[in-house]
Amino acid sequence: MSPFGEFLCVELKRSVASALPQDIPWYDPSHTVFFAALYGAVGVIGFGLLAAAILTFKRLKHGDEGGHH
């Protein structure tokens, strides 16, 4: 096998099979940084959607007439 092919095989060994936290090799700094940023962004987006849903239902329950139609 060529040296380049061996390099590719080593990199394939380190690849991630899925994005689930239990399948990620957290000992590898590049994986740790990438997935920490990914899960952080997904968490912020999820929190924003949850906050918007809660505020929407709260306003619907109180019958806020401030909507523009």
Global pTM reads 0.62
For residues 28 and 34, is the Cβ–Cβ distance under 8 A? no
Determine the pLDDT at residue 23.
80
Query: Domain coordinates of the chain in residue numbers?
Result: 25-64
- Distance, in Å, from the CA atom of 62 to the CA atom of 4, rounded to the nearest integer, reads 66
Please write the tens of the pLDDT for every residue from 27-64.
Answer: 888 888 998 999 999 999 999 999 999 999 999 988 76
Q: Is the dihedral of CA 32, 41, 20, 9 positive or negative?
A: negative
Residue 18 in this model has a pLDDT that exceeds 60: yes
More confident residue, 57 or 22: 57
